[in-house]
């Protein structure tokens, strides 16, 4: 609407371009000041005129074209020209737009590919809450981009290579068995790995042996790779359980190991471009001119490392997917790592280094306590999800024991609650996880938004689902309360665009809470099913539009909405 207004206003206001108007036009928080306001202070400076005089002239110029502009009323307040939209036209425009396919959202990403690297847990380690965050944020960014027409390639860059696997093989051979690993899964691998870390300082031979096993892996030794592969399989079973609960899948599982054989070509290229220097036997890229520590490419024993495998992966992705952007969702602590990687790509002469984006997020704590492996205070993602489902089921038993399909509903609520809680605050902020905040049915939570959806659906069911009125008198929606809702609905497309472009699903989560709150106010203050026919029809259409937007928005956060709860 703002765009439309500015386009038309630019045609009638001399000396003001569309772009200038887009910069200038505001949407006042106080509705009494108009739906749009044009402040004339910067213009006053340029034109050396009193802003109030300019505002009056502007009002006169625009008044002549009221109907073309979709404006019903204009006012001058000080240096402002305030515009009140024609509510009927506006409402019709918004509700018709959202009724179109894809809720009227333009596919601005058509023809562009975005590679997304997220989740990417480490083999033989538990899938903890930190990985839950990258998984949830990454998946929402995937859905947001897809909604806008981008082709998204979802890549799980598993941490499946490194010296730790040499240690694990030694530990397995010494302290575990096939049966034990099969039975206990990752827990057993974590147990023996911890044991190794404890024993190694006392027994240097262990380190030697571990090193030897890793060398074997790097030399493609059959036995070594078979054990490693099996550890990977065991781990994947557990990761898949989490992905299934969250309804998440990937286009590629290409772990770090996949890029090992691509590192030699990288080294050759770096040598050719004279970017490699030796440092204590290792090969590095000197980044001191950029105030960064050197980027390690090979270790002194010639082996590859996290950094070189990541650079090789990025070159591989560019060559195979010709991406418009390549996004990485990881914890904030990896910021330097990605700066180094992207700098290396730049130094290699690739202009597209600017299309690579690290999307960091903050730490997770539990009831105020920091989570770490060392003090054993690790929270498994799977346990959190299960607990959330269990608590949701308890709440249903207490509040609505006759609800059909309780189990399925409790899954949607429990999982939705965890996801929403994770996404509600800016991703860079730390998240403190407290069950009360997560599962509350009031306030800024997933269940609150889901409940609002269920409420809207229940109204539509009572109205008779098939009976959506075809002919609507939009004049019935021009009062403040329904019209506020219409204005919020208008902002949906912009919200989706912003959330995708800023890599910030919280923008959408906050929007959904605002929409839900406005809907609930409307629900409490305006009778729907008992209203006179014309009003009832119009309100039903509004309810239907709200329910569509909530469902669509939740889906973009990877949350499902139960029809009843
Ligand atoms: N496996 C890493 C971790 O758990 C995350 C990998 C992120 N992706 C990447 N291409 N480096 O911290």
The residue ranges of every structural domain in the chain are: 2-85, 151-160+255-361, 163-235
CB-ligand 1 contact for 304 (6 Å cutoff): no
CA of 142 from ligand 1 middle (Å) equals 17
CA of 452 from ligand 1 middle (Å) equals 37
Q: pLDDT tens across 486-539, in order?
A: 999 999 999 999 999 999 999 999 999 999 999 999 999 999 999 999 999 999
Ligand 1 atom having least distance to the Cα of 159 = 1
The answer to whether 379 and 128 have CB atoms below 8 angstroms apart is yes
Q: Report H helices in 403-445.
A: 406-424, 435-439
CB-ligand 1 contact for 523 (6 Å cutoff): no
Q: Which one of 3.30.1360.70, 3.40.50.880, 3.90.420.10, 3.10.350.10 gives the CATH number of domain 2-85?
A: 3.30.1360.70
C-alpha gyration radius of the chain: 29
Model pLDDT, residue 250: 98
Lowest mean pLDDT among 283-297, 357-371, 386-400, 529-543: 357-371
Ligand 1 atom having least distance to the Cα of 313 = 10
Model pLDDT, residue 431: 86
Model pLDDT, residue 378: 63
CB-ligand 1 contact for 482 (6 Å cutoff): no
Model pLDDT, residue 4: 85
Residues forming a β-bridge with 278: 283
Give 370's pLDDT tier (boundaries 50, 70, 90): low
Q: What is the mean pLDDT of residues 169-197?
A: 96
Distances (CA, A) of 430 to 331, 506, 513: 10, 13, 20
CA of 256 from ligand 1 middle (Å) equals 9
DSSP letters spanning 165-197: HHHHHHHHHHH--HHHHHHHTHHHHHHHHHHHH
Q: Which of 145, 282, 168 lies closest to 230, judged by CA? A: 168
Q: What is the mean pLDDT of residues 367-389?
A: 74
Ligand 1 atom having least distance to the Cα of 334 = 12
Model pLDDT, residue 538: 97
Ligand 1 atom having least distance to the Cα of 158 = 1
CB-ligand 1 contact for 310 (6 Å cutoff): yes
CB-ligand 1 contact for 337 (6 Å cutoff): no
Q: Whose CA is nearest to atom 6 of ligand 1?
A: 120
Model pLDDT, residue 155: 98
CATH topology of domain 151-160+255-361: Rossmann fold (3.40.50)
Model pLDDT, residue 376: 56
Q: With 70 as the cut, is the pLDDT of residue 374 above it?
A: no
Lowest mean pLDDT among 147-151, 308-312, 387-391, 514-518: 387-391
CA of 332 from ligand 1 middle (Å) equals 12
CB-ligand 1 contact for 552 (6 Å cutoff): no
Mean pLDDT of all residues belonging to the chain? 94
Q: What is the mean pLDDT of residues 115-142?
A: 95
CA of 159 from ligand 1 middle (Å) equals 6
Q: With 60 as the cut, is the pLDDT of residue 37 above it?
A: yes
Q: Whose CA is nearest to atom 1 of ligand 1?
A: 159
Report the percentage of the chain scoring pLDDT > 90: 87
CA of 338 from ligand 1 middle (Å) equals 10
Q: With 80 as the cut, is the pLDDT of residue 368 above it?
A: no
Q: How many CB atoms lie within 10 A of CB 466?
A: 6
Contacts of residue 146, Cβ cutoff 8 Å, sequence gap at least 6: 152
Q: What is the mean pLDDT of residues 274-288?
A: 96
The pTM assigned to this predicted structure is 0.94
Give 204's pLDDT tier (boundaries 50, 70, 90): very high
CB-ligand 1 contact for 117 (6 Å cutoff): yes
CB-ligand 1 contact for 122 (6 Å cutoff): yes
Ligand 1 pocket mutation pick from 307, 317, 334, 342 by most atoms within 8 angstroms of CB: 334
Model pLDDT, residue 367: 72
CA of 161 from ligand 1 middle (Å) equals 11
Q: Whose CA is nearest to atom 4 of ligand 1?
A: 121
Q: What is the mean pLDDT of residues 92-111?
A: 96
CA of 122 from ligand 1 middle (Å) equals 8
CA of 340 from ligand 1 middle (Å) equals 14
CB-ligand 1 contact for 159 (6 Å cutoff): yes
CB-ligand 1 contact for 162 (6 Å cutoff): no
Q: With 60 as the cut, is the pLDDT of residue 6 above it?
A: yes
Q: Say if strands 325-331 and 369-370 run parallel, antiparallel, or are unpaired.
A: unpaired
Query: Which DSSP symbol is given to 304?
Result: B
Query: Which DSSP symbol is given to 291?
Result: T
CA of 157 from ligand 1 middle (Å) equals 6
Ligand 1 pocket mutation pick from 159, 161, 326, 332 by most atoms within 8 angstroms of CB: 159
Model pLDDT, residue 437: 82
CA of 121 from ligand 1 middle (Å) equals 7
CA of 254 from ligand 1 middle (Å) equals 12
Q: Whose CA is nearest to atom 8 of ligand 1?
A: 157
CA of 491 from ligand 1 middle (Å) equals 35
Q: Which of 462, 487, 460 lies closest to 95, judged by CA? A: 487
CA of 318 from ligand 1 middle (Å) equals 18
Q: Which of 448, 453, 470 lies closest to 537, judged by CA? A: 470
Ligand 1 pocket mutation pick from 128, 134, 157, 338 by most atoms within 8 angstroms of CB: 157
Q: Treating both helix axes as pointing N-terminal to C-terminal, what angle do 406-424 and 129-147 enclose, rounded to 10 degrees?
A: 90
Q: What is the mean pLDDT of residues 84-108?
A: 96
């Amino acid at each position: 609407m703002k765009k439309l207004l500015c386009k038309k206003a630019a045609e009638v206001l001399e000396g003001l371009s569309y772009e200038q108007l887009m910069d200038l036009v505001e949407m006042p928080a106080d509705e009494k000041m108009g739906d749009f306001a044009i402040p004339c202070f910067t213009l006053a400076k340029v034109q050396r005129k009193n802003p109030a005089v300019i505002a009056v002239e502007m009002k006169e110029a625009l008044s002549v074209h009221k109907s073309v502009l979709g404006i019903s009323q204009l006012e001058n307040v000080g240096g402002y020209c305030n515009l009140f939209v024609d509510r009927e036209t506006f409402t019709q425009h918004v509700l018709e737009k959202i009724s179109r396919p894809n809720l009227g959202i333009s596919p601005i990403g058509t023809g562009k590919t975005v590679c997304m690297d997220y989740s990417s847990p480490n083999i033989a380690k538990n899938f903890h809450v930190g990985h839950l965050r990258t998984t949830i944020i990454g998946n929402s960014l995937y859905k947001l981009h897809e909604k806008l027409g981008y082709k998204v390639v979802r890549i799980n860059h598993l941490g499946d290579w490194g010296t730790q696997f040499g240690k694990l093989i030694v530990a397995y051979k010494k302290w575990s068995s096939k049966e034990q690993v099969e039975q206990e899964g990752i827990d057993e691998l974590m147990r023996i790995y911890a044991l190794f870390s404890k024993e190694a300082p006392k027994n240097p031979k262990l380190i030697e042996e571990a090193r030897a096993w890793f060398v074997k892996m790097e030399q493609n030794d059959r036995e070594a790779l078979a054990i490693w592969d099996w550890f990977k399989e065991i781990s994947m079973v557990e990761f898949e359980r989490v992905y299934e609960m969250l309804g998440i899948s990937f286009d590629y599982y290409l772990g770090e190991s996949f890029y090992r054989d691509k590192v030699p070509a990288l080294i050759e290229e770096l040598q050719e471009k004279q970017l490699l220097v030796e440092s204590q036997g290792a090969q590095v890229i000197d980044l001191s001119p950029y105030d960064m520590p050197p980027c390690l490419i090979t270790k002194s024993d010639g082996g590859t490392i996290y950094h070189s495998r990541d650079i090789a992966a990025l070159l591989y992705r560019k060559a195979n997917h010709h991406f418009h952007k390549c996004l990485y969702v990881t914890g904030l602590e990896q910021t330097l790592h990605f700066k180094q990687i992207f700098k290396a790509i730049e130094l290699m002469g690739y202009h597209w280094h600017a299309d690579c984006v690290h999307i960091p997020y903050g730490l997770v704590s539990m009831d105020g306590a920091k989570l770490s492996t060392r003090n054993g205070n690790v929270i498994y993602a799977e346990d959190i999800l299960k607990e959330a489902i269990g608590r949701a089921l308890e709440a249903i038993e207490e509040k609505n024991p006759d609800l059909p399909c309780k189990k399925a509903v409790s899954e949607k609520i429990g999982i939705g609650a965890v996801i929403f809680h994770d996404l509600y605050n800016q991703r860079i902020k730390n998240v403190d996880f407290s069950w009360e905040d997560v599962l509350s049915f009031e306030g800024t939570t997933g269940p609150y938004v889901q409940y609002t959806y269920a409420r809207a659906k229940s109204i539509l069911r009572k109205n008779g689902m098939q009976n959506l009125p075809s002919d609507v008198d939009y004049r019935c929606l021009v009062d403040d309360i329904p019209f506020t809702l219409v204005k919020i609905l208008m902002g949906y497309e912009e919200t989706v665009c912003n959330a995708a472009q800023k890599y910030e699903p919280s923008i959408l989560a906050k929007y959904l809470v605002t929409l839900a709150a406005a809907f609930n106010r409307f629900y409490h203050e305006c009778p729907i099913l008992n209203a006179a026919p014309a009003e009832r029809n119009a309100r039903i259409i509004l309810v239907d539009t709200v329910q569509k937007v909530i469902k669509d928005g939740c889906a973009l956060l990877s949350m499902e909405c139960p029809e009843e709860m």
